[in-house]
Chain A
Amino acid sequence: MDWKLAAGLGVLLILPFFVTDSYTRHLFILAFVYAILASNWDLSLGYAGLFNFGHIAFFATGVYTAAIAAKTLGVSPMLTIPLGGATAALTALIVAAPVARLKGIYVVLVTFAFSQVLLQLILSQSHITGGAEGMVRIPALQIGDYKFIRDFKFGYYYVALGLLVLSTFYLLWLTRSPFGKSLLALRDNEEYAGARGISIMRARVLALVASAIFPGMAGSFFAIYLRVASPEVLGFGTLSLVLSMVLIGGIATITGPIFAAFAIFFATETLAGTRGMEEFRFIIVAVAMILVLRFAPGGLARILQVFQFKKNRVL
Chain B
Amino acid sequence: METLLATFVSGLVLAALYALMASGLSLIWTTIGVFNFAHGALMMVGAFVAWTVSEVGGFGLWPGLIAGVATTTVLGVIIEYLLIRPFYGQRNMVLITVMTTLAAMIILEKSAQIIWGARLKQLPRMIEGDISISGAVISAHEALIVVLAPLILIALWQFTNRTPVGRSLRAVGQNQEAAALLGINVPLTFALAFGLGAALAGLTGVLLGGIRFITPSLGSEPLIKAMIVVIFGGLGSLGATVGAALVIGMAEAFLVLTLGLYWTPFAIFLGLIAVLVLRPNGLFGRS
- Chain A residues packing against B (C-beta within 8 Å): 51, 53, 98, 101-102, 104-106, 108-110, 112-114, 116-117, 120-121, 123-126, 236-237, 239-240, 243-244, 247, 279-280, 282-283, 285-287, 289-290, 293-294
Residues of B contacting A236 in the complex (Cβ-Cβ under 8 angstroms): 102, 105-106, 220
Interface residues on B, range: 35 or more
B280 CB-CB contact with A under 8 Å: yes
Subset of 24 A-B contacts with CB under 8 Å: A51-B95, A102-B277, A105-B95, A108-B35, A109-B35, A109-B231, A109-B276, A110-B273, A110-B276, A113-B227, A113-B228, A116-B265, A120-B269, A236-B106, A237-B106, A239-B102, A279-B111, A282-B106, A282-B110, A286-B106, A287-B107, A289-B99, A289-B103, A293-B100
CA of A101 to CA of B82, assembled, Å: 33
Residues of A contacting B235 in the complex (Cβ-Cβ under 8 angstroms): 105
Assess the B95–A124 pair: CB atoms within 8 A. no
Assess the A240–B106 pair: CB atoms within 8 A. yes
Residues of B contacting A247 in the complex (Cβ-Cβ under 8 angstroms): 99
Assess the A283–B107 pair: CB atoms within 8 A. yes
Smallest distance from the beta carbon of A296 to chain B beta carbons, Å? 13
Residues of A contacting B227 in the complex (Cβ-Cβ under 8 angstroms): 109, 112-113
Beta-carbon nearest neighbor of A102 in chain B:
B280
CA of A88 to CA of B111, assembled, Å: 34
7 further contact pairs, Cβ within 8 A, besides A51-B95, A293-B99: A110-B277, A113-B276, A116-B265, A280-B110, A282-B106, A285-B106, A287-B103
* Contacts A110-B273, A124-B262, A124-B266 given; does A283 touch B110 at CB 8 Å: yes
* Contacts A108-B35, A108-B98 given; does A113 touch B103 at CB 8 Å: no
Residues of B contacting A98 in the complex (Cβ-Cβ under 8 angstroms): 273, 276-277
Q: What sequence of 0s and 1s flags, for each residue 94-138 of chain B, a beta carbon within 8 Å of any chain A beta carbon?
A: 111011101111110011011000000000000000000000000
Assess the B263–A286 pair: CB atoms within 8 A. no
Smallest distance from the beta carbon of A47 to chain B beta carbons, Å? 15
Residues of A contacting B103 in the complex (Cβ-Cβ under 8 angstroms): 240, 244, 286-287, 289-290
Assess the A294–B86 pair: CB atoms within 8 A. yes
CA of A101 to CA of B269, assembled, Å: 19
B155 CB-CB contact with A under 8 Å: no
Beta-carbon nearest neighbor of A247 in chain B:
B99
CA of A294 to CA of B96, assembled, Å: 9
CA of A279 to CA of B109, assembled, Å: 9
B114 in complex: contacting residue of A106, A108, A237, A280, CB < 8 Å: A280
A113 in complex: contacting residue of B105, B107, B273, B280, CB < 8 Å: B273
Residues of A contacting B105 in the complex (Cβ-Cβ under 8 angstroms): 236, 240
Assess the A116–B269 pair: CB atoms within 8 A. yes
Smallest distance from the beta carbon of B48 to chain A beta carbons, Å? 15
Smallest distance from the beta carbon of B105 to chain A beta carbons, Å? 7
CA of A112 to CA of B106, assembled, Å: 17
Residues of B contacting A283 in the complex (Cβ-Cβ under 8 angstroms): 106-107, 110-111
Beta-carbon nearest neighbor of A98 in chain B:
B277
B75 CB-CB contact with A under 8 Å: no
Residues of B contacting A106 in the complex (Cβ-Cβ under 8 angstroms): 276, 280
Interface residues of B, dominant DSSP: helix
The 10 A-B pairs with the shortest beta carbon distances in the complex, nearest first, are A124-B262, A286-B103, A98-B277, A117-B269, A286-B106, A120-B265, A120-B266, A279-B110, A279-B113, A282-B110
* Contacts A117-B266, A120-B266, A236-B220 given; does A105 touch B98 at CB 8 Å: yes
B151 CB-CB contact with A under 8 Å: no
B66 CB-CB contact with A under 8 Å: no
CA of A64 to CA of B94, assembled, Å: 33
Smallest distance from the beta carbon of B258 to chain A beta carbons, Å? 15
Residues of A contacting B266 in the complex (Cβ-Cβ under 8 angstroms): 117, 120-121, 124
Residues of B contacting A126 in the complex (Cβ-Cβ under 8 angstroms): 262
CA of A93 to CA of B33, assembled, Å: 30
Smallest distance from the beta carbon of A256 to chain B beta carbons, Å? 16
Beta-carbon nearest neighbor of A123 in chain B:
B262
B140 CB-CB contact with A under 8 Å: no
Smallest distance from the beta carbon of B110 to chain A beta carbons, Å? 4
Smallest distance from the beta carbon of B102 to chain A beta carbons, Å? 6
Assess the A108–B107 pair: CB atoms within 8 A. no
* Contacts A114-B273, A116-B224 given; does A104 touch B94 at CB 8 Å: yes
B272 CB-CB contact with A under 8 Å: yes
Smallest distance from the beta carbon of A297 to chain B beta carbons, Å? 8
B83 in complex: contacting residue of A101, A108, A290, CB < 8 Å: A290
Q: Which residues of chain B in 62-106 are interfacial with respect to chain A, using CB atoms and an 8 Å cutoff?
A: 82-83, 86-87, 94-96, 98-100, 102-106
Assess the A113–B262 pair: CB atoms within 8 A. no
Beta-carbon nearest neighbor of A110 in chain B:
B276
Residues of B contacting A121 in the complex (Cβ-Cβ under 8 angstroms): 266
Beta-carbon nearest neighbor of A105 in chain B:
B94
Beta-carbon nearest neighbor of A291 in chain B:
B103
CA of A286 to CA of B108, assembled, Å: 10
CA of A237 to CA of B86, assembled, Å: 25
CA of A247 to CA of B96, assembled, Å: 11
B270 CB-CB contact with A under 8 Å: yes
Smallest distance from the beta carbon of A105 to chain B beta carbons, Å? 5
Residues of A contacting B113 in the complex (Cβ-Cβ under 8 angstroms): 279
Smallest distance from the beta carbon of B24 to chain A beta carbons, Å? 17
